[in-house]
Structure 1
C-alpha cells in the first residue's frame, strides 16, 4: 500500500509542468506569428478553448482507462476496435515522422550557419538541391549512429531540451520588457488598438490553422501520468486547465514580444527558418550583449535537433514493429541485427526520408522556399496521428459501460462522442486546407501547382503504404503455408 501511494504523488502542477515542457517551444510562436501576424493572439485563445482543452482532457480519460497499456494510441484502438485499425493507428504514428526526419537535418545546418556566420545568409542564398544533398548525407550519418546504439546525443539532447525551454521563457520576458528596460522602439504600429488583433476569417487564414493544430498537438505523451496523480478525477483536469493557461499565456506574450521586435505588417520572408535567431540577435542588441543570446540559442537548438533526429529514427519505428502482428506487418520488417536494430525497418525509413529530402528539391529552387514547404508539410501530416486519438475517444464514448476509469472527462455517451467528433473534423479540416500552398513560398503558377501536388501526394502516399503492408504480409503467410516453412 505504501508503494502504491508513493507512486501516486504527482499533483496538478507537476502534470501541468511535465506537459508544458513536452508540448511547447519557441518555434510555435515564431511560425504562427509569421502566418498571421498580431491576429494570431486571438487565434491562440480560440484554439486553446475550442480544441486544446478538450483534446487534453480526452487524452486523460483514455490514458486512465487503459493505464496498463502504456498509453499508446494503437493500444487504445486495439482494445476499442480491433487489431486491423490498431495497425493503421501505429503505422500513421510512425509514418508522419518521415517529413519530420526530413527537416531536422535542415534545422541542424541552419543552426550551425548562424553559429559560425551570425546571419541568415545560408537560407537566403544556398541552392536547395545542394543543401538537400547535404541533408541526405547528414541524415545517413545519424541513421548509422542510431543503428550503432550511440546514446551520447540523447543525454546531451536532454540538457539542450531544458535549455530550449528556458530560452523560450527568457525570450518572452526579454522581448515584452525590452521597450521599458532598454528604451527600444516597438516595431509594429497600432499594437494598442483592438482591431490589430481581430483575424479576417478568409481562405488565407483558414490555410494557416494546420500550423496552430501542429503547435498544440502531442498531448497524448502525458497519458501515462494520469493514474500517477494524487487524485486523478480532480487533479488531472485541474492540471490540464493550468497547462492550457500556461500555453495560452506563453503564446500570447510570445506573439506580443514578436510584434515588438518585428513589424507584423512587413515580416522577413525567411522568418520561418531564421526568425528565432534574428529575434535573439535583436534582443542581444537591445540589451548590449551582442550575439550572446543568439549563439546560446543556436548551440541549444543544434543539440536538441540532433538528439531529436537520433531518437525519432528509432523510437517511433520500435513502437510500430516491437509487437507487430504478422498478419499486418511482413516478418522481414521485424528482422533485427545483433544490436537489436530493425535493419529492414531502417532501410524503409532511409528510402522514404531520402525521397522527401531530394525529390521535391528538383522543383523547389530556393532554400528558404524549401524550408517553408517542408515545415508546412509537417503541419499537414503530423496532426493526422491525432485523428486516431479522437477516433479512440469516440469509440470509448460508445462503450463507457465496458470500461472503468479513475478519471472521466465526459460521462454522457452522446456528449463525449460529439466532442470527439468535433476535434476529429476540425483536425481533418485543418490538414486538408493546409495543403493549399502559402503565397510567400511560391513564385510562379507552375511552382504553386508543384507544391500543391506534393502536399496532396505525400500524405496520401505515406498513408497508402500502410494499406500495402497487410497485403504483403498475407502473401508471405500464404507462401509459407504452401512451402510448409
Structure 2
C-alpha cells in the first residue's frame, strides 16, 4: 500500500507548478518596483503559508468530497444555499479572467511574429476589443466541442513556462559575468533601503496583486491524503513549496530590477515586460530573439489552453451537479450532446461585456492590460474567501470533524488564523479597487477604472443572488 503513496517532494512540485508563474513576478514588479522583494517575503510568511496549510487540513478532513470549496462550505455550515454561493463565486470570478486571455494571446503572437510589443502600443483599444471578442467567441464555440488536444499542448507548454521562469533567473544572474558591457538598470541595488517599501495608501492598493499571485492553493487539496504520513509530510511539502515560490519571487524581482529601472518603470511593463526581459537577455547572451520567441510560443499555447479550459471546467463544476433549488432549469439545460448550452451562452454574454467595456473609458492597450490585470486581482481572490470561511466554521465545530492532518490543534487559534486570512483577503480586494493611473494625468480613465472596479464584483455577486429567485419562481410555476 505504501508504494501507492506520493512523496512529499512530488506534491510540493505539483503545488508549485499549480500556483506559480513568471507573470506574477512581472505584474508585481510593474506595480511596486524593486521594493516588491520585501512584499514577497511578508506575503509568504503572513498569508501564503497559512493559506496552503489551511487547504491541507480541509482536504484531509473532507477527503471524499468531490465539489472542492463548495463541498467544504456545505459540510461545515450544513447549508445548501451557502454552498451554492461558494460554487457560484468559484465560477463567476473566471469571467474577468477569461476576458483577459484573448489580449494575452494577441500580445504573445505579436512578439513572436513582429519581435516587438507594438501590438500593445500601436493598436487602438477599439480594434483590440473587436479582435479579442472574435478570439473569445471562437474558443467559446470550440469549447462546446471539446479541446482535449489543446489542453494537452497547454499542459506541456505550462511545464515549459515553469522552466523558462527558472531559466530567466539563472540567465539574469549570469549575464554580468558573460557580457562585461551589461549595466544594472536600477541604482543602489546593493543598499538595503532600496528594497524597503513606502507603506502608504498607493502601496496598500497593490497588495491584491500579491494575493492574486499566490492564490489557488485549494487545487492542492486532492493530494493531501495521497501523501505518505500527511501529518508530518504535508506541512513539509507546503513549506518547501512556499520557500521555492518565495525564492523564485525574490530572485525574479531582483532580476527584473537588473533589467528595468525600478525608479522609471515602463508604462507597458505588464503587457510587454516578460517578452522584453527575454529579448534583453538574449541580446546580451548573443542569441538574439530566440529566448523571447520560445517564451512567446509557450505563452500563446498556455493562454489558449487556459482560455479553453477556464470556459469549460468551472462551468461544469457549477452546473453539472447544481442544486435545482438555487440554479434555474434553463441554465442547467443540456443539448443532445450533453453540452450545457445556456451556461455557455451566459458565459459568452458576461465575458463579451467585459471585453467591450474598455471602449468606453480606456485609451491605450497598455492601460487596458493594466486595468484588466488589476480587475482580476480584485475579483479572483473572492473565491479564496470561502476557503477561509470553511476553515473558520471547521474550527467552530472542531469536535464534529476528524482530520488526519491538522494545521493548528487549538481550535480558537485556528479560528483566529482563518479569520486573519479571511479579513486580509477582503481588505486586499477593497483596496485593490483604487485605480493605478494618475488622476491628474488621465481623470476620465481614473474614474472609469474606479467605477468598473467597484461595480464589476458587485454585479457578479448580485447575479448569483438573482438566480435562486428565478429558480424559486420556476418551481412555483411547475407546481401551479
Q: TM-score, normalised by structure 2?
A: 0.98
Deviation of the 1:287 alpha carbon: 0.3
Q: Work out the CA distance in 2 between the residues paired with 1:171 and 1:444.
A: 35
1:196-241 Cα deviation digits (max 9, x unpaired): 0011100010000000000000000000000001000000000011
Q: Is 1:176–2:173 an aligned residue pair?
A: yes
Residues 318-337 of structure 1 show CA distances to partners (whole Å, capped at 9, x for unaligned) of: 01011101100001111112
- From 263, 266, 280, the equivalent of 2:264 is 266
Partner of 1:341: 339
1:159-308 equivalences under 5 Å are 159-183=156-180, 184-308=182-306
Structure 1 residue 267: Cα displacement: 1.3
Query: Does structure 2 conserve the Cα–Cα contact (< 8 Å) formed by 1:176 and 1:256?
Result: no
Does structure 1 retain, via aligned residues, the 8 Å contact 2:125–2:358?
no
In 2, the alpha carbon distance for the partners of 1:381 and 1:221 equals: 18
Aligned pair partner of 1:327 in 325, 329, 332 = 325
**Runs of at least 5 residues in structure 1 that lack an aligned partner in the other structure:** none
Distance 2:431 2:243 in 1: 27
The 5-angstrom pairing of residues 46-61 of structure 1 reads 46-61=42-57
- 2:110 is equivalent to residue 113 of structure 1: yes
Distance 1:444 1:236 in 2: 49
Q: Give me the whole-angstrom Cα distance separating, in 2, the residues matched to 1:135 and 1:162.
A: 26
Offset at 1:266? 1.0
| Distance in 1, Cα, partners of 2:102 & 2:445 | 24
Is 1:418 the equivalent of 2:425?
A: no
List per-residue Cα deviations over 1:440-484 (Å, max 9, x = no partner). 6984222211110000000100111000000000000000000xx
Aligned positions of 1:5-16 closer than 5 A: 5-7=2-4, 9-16=5-12
How many residues get paired?
478
Classify the secondary structure of the residue corresponding to 2:404.
coil
Per-residue CA distance 1:151-200 (angstroms, 9 max, x = gap): 22111111111111110010011012211232211111100000000111
Q: Is the 8 A contact 1:55 1:219 kept in 2?
A: yes
Contact 1:63 1:71 in 2 (8 A): no
Determine whether 1:88 maps to 2:78: no
SS in 1 for 2:380: helix
Task: Say if 2:69 and 2:87, in contact at 8 Å, map to a contact too.
Answer: yes
**Residue from 311, 315, 318 that aligns with 1:317:** 315
Contact 1:369 1:442 in 2 (8 A): no
1:137 equivalent in alignment to 2:134: yes
Distance in 1 (CA, whole Å) between partners of 2:286 and 2:439 is 34
Gap runs ≥5 in structure 2: none
**Is structure 2 residue 106 aligned with structure 1 residue 127?**
no
Question: Partners of 1:338 and 1:264 in 2: how far apart?
Answer: 56
DSSP-derived class of the 1:401 partner? coil
Output the CA distance in 2 between the equivalents of 1:255 and 1:177: 15
Name whichever of 11-20 and 311-320 sits farther off: 11-20
Aligned partner of 1:36 among 19, 32, 35:
32
Measured in 2, the distance between the counterparts of 1:359 and 1:69 equals 38
Aligned to 2:228, what secondary structure does the other structure show?
Answer: coil
Aligned partner of 2:68 in structure 1 is 72
> If the length of structure 1 is used for normalisation, what is the TM-score?
0.97
- State the Cα deviation string for residues 119-143 of structure 1 (Å, max 9, x = none): 1111111100111111011100001
Cα offset, 1:371, TM superposition: 1.1
Moved more, 424-433 or 259-268: 259-268
